[in-house]
Chain A
Amino acid sequence: MGNKSVSYAKWGYIFSLPFMLVFLFFSLYPIIYTAMLGFTDLQGAGRRTFEFLANPLENYKLVLTNESFITSLKNTGLIWFLNFIPQMLLALLLTSWFTNQRFKIKGQGMFKVLMYMPNIITAATIAFLFRNLFGYPKGPINDLFMMLGLIEKPIYFWMSAGWSRGIIAFIQFWMWYGNTMIVLIAGVMGIDPTIFEAAEIDGASSVQTFFRITLPSLRTILLFTLVTSLIGGLQMFDIPLLYNLGGPDQKTLTASVWIYNQAFSGRYFYNRASAASMVLFAIIVVLASIVFYILRDKDAQKINRDRKAFKKYARQLQKEAGK
């Protein structure tokens, strides 16, 4: 009876085929092509023919000794750091409040909806909106600060390196802390509640519970957030471009904006932009690997084991309930 002899294995291949083909055509080939263009002399509008350089590493040398590219890498790192640290701290603080057993915050749903909101709105629009909000000599923020008596005369935000970097980092922070918070809350919800109950019975304070139980349990999720934020941050483009074109004086120029400017804003240095892209790619791969290497430790394995044990436990309960 039945058709045990029929093998359905080929359908696994068939159903995965579109993914594979599209990936090869639109992702893998462009990456290899970019890597190759980095060794060529391809420059100029509309040019399609190119030759490999006598010294294939010339573009890389040029890029790595280019002051503005180095500056752009430093800016990218600095702006990411300025956004990530406060973002993580605030998300952790809010997570500890929203998951506190002793204090059920009213209106949590509404708080979450509004705190997450900026994340879903177009970054380009937000960046240009902030440019207008920080207008000079008249602008909503200058008006507000004057009204509150914080400043005596309007600040020329766009021309200040400190303010520009700070504002771009703030936009990034403001758009992402809600997302990070929701991710962390989900992580806390995944922790076995009996651990919290045990801590409570043992008389642990909420601060102790947070630092001794919640935080260590969130290790994996924290690292995951760190990697995704880092990879996203290294590609930062929309916000610095729309806020101030990387200005003033390249103080907010990020690596992606630099690459875009080299190739697409009337300069057509495709070969240099390719070399720079590969440098950026290498940095991303190295950073991601380091973090994933850390992730592959005993703790992660232990979490997996606990999970399996928990599943088994749940199945048993279901069985018993069924009897």
Chain B
Amino acid sequence: MRTKIKEMSPIRKVIVYTVCIFLIVLSIFPFYTMFINATRGTYEIQSNSISLIPSTFAVSNWNVLMNKNFNPLIGFVNSLIISCGVTVLAVYFSSLTAYGLVAYDWKLRKPFFTFIMAILMIPAQVSIIGFFQFMYSLGLTNNFLPLILPAIASPATVFFMRQYLLGTLSIDIVNCARIDGSGEFRTFNQIVLPIMQPALATQAIFAFVGSWNSLFLPLVMLTDRTKYTMPIMVNLLRGDIYRTEYGSVYLALSLTVLPLFIVYFLLSRYIIEGVALGALKE
């Protein structure tokens, strides 16, 4: 007979829930204050910088930003172009590389995979000077290409895709397609990619968010105001002209992350699953 499972004591339950609730308040409070203060006037914020209810100054805060030549729409469009480019390239080419690693038996397959594992940890940041000088000599500063194209070689995404393919791809399907006369590229595009859809979706979210959030490389590569991305625009807010415009600063900050909140609340389940799946790599 099984022993009866002991219940947790009520005191411990209270502690557990108290800590959890405290932590989610901690998660929400900064962002809640940001969104609420984005709608409040500078005077209101100066007299009391915390409020639970929104006010009516969102439009006037927006106008202040526009008067100071701070146009979030430009940053939004630039960030969107770069992030979409990165997402498409990272997801497509990583799947292609992973398929090459899983479906074919070639001599350098193992060494190539070991190599991908080895470069998984190399941080891009340490080669920034060489990268900048190289792109500068090619005339590619203030150009989106050096920010988008490197996504073709995303070792972590290849790794994830490989794990996924190992678990789901049956080589019989590929062989059937061959018998039907399908070329290798066509087999990949029309048969393998659809099989990989869940993995594509997960990795697409991470590629998009990662690119949207990146500051270091864009900050170095883009100096033309019309090319700025959202995080670089946040850096602009440090300027003196915004020192007393509390409401507008909160509004600008809110706008830089609004798309992320929308994406997160629509897709949080998949995102958390993706984080958990990524953890199982060994």
Contact = CB atoms under 8 A, between A and B. Distances in A.
Contacts of B94: 19
Given A128-B234, A187-B279, A281-B126, A100 B8 contact: yes
Interface of A is mostly: helix
A237 B127 contact: no
Contacts of B146: 26
Contacts of B97: 15-16, 18-19
Among A16, A111, A140, the most chain B Cβ lie within 10 Å of the Cβ of A16
Contacts of A270: 129, 133
A29 interface: yes
Contacts of A114: 23-24, 27-28
Interface stretch (A66-74, A116-124, A313-321): A116-124
A22 B126 CA distance: 17
B134 A122 contact: no
Given A13-B108, A122-B231, A182-B272, A32 B279 contact: no
B101 A16 contact: yes
Given A9-B104, A237-B125, A264-B220, A27 B119 contact: yes
Contacts of A126: 30
Contacts of B2: 201
Q: Report the contact-size class of chain B (Cβ under 8 Å from the partner).
A: 35 or more
A125 B231 contact: yes
Interface in B14-63: 16-17, 19-20, 23-24, 26-28, 30-31, 33-34, 37, 45-46, 48-50
B104 A12 contact: yes
B131 interface: yes
Interface string A182-202: 111111011000000000110
Contacts of B134: 29-30, 33
Interface string A213-239: 000000011001001100100110110
A235 B137 contact: no
B11 interface: no
B275 A123 contact: no
Given A14-B100, A117-B27, A34 B123 contact: no
Given A97-B16, A143-B50, A122 B112 contact: no
A300 B250 CA distance: 48
A183 B276 contact: yes
B144 interface: no
B126 A34 contact: yes
A183 B275 contact: yes
Contacts of A163: none
A75 interface: no
A34 B275 contact: no
Interface string B87-118: 00000011011011101111111001000000
Interface string B64-82: 0000000000000000000
Nearest to A90: B23
A35 B137 CA distance: 17
Given A12-B105, A16-B101, A116-B272, 9 more contacts: A16-B112, A18-B93, A19-B158, A105-B17, A122-B212, A125-B234, A138-B45, A140-B37, A277-B128
14 contacts: A9-B105, A18-B96, A19-B158, A26-B146, A103-B12, A111-B20, A116-B268, A120-B271, A125-B256, A126-B30, A140-B49, A182-B279, A186-B276, A190-B280
- Lowest 7 A-B CB distances belong to which pairs? A15-B100, A33-B130, A34-B130, A12-B106, A12-B104, A186-B276, A183-B279
Interface of A: 3, 8-16, 18-20, 22-23, 26-27, 29-37, 42, 48, 93-94, 97, 100-103, 105, 109-118, 120-126, 128-130, 132-133, 135, 138-140, 142-144, 147, 174, 178-179, 182-187, 189-190, 200-201, 203, 206, 220-221, 224, 227-228, 231, 234-235, 237-238, 241-242, 245, 256, 259-260, 263-264, 270, 273-274, 277-278, 280-281, 284, 288, 300, 303-304
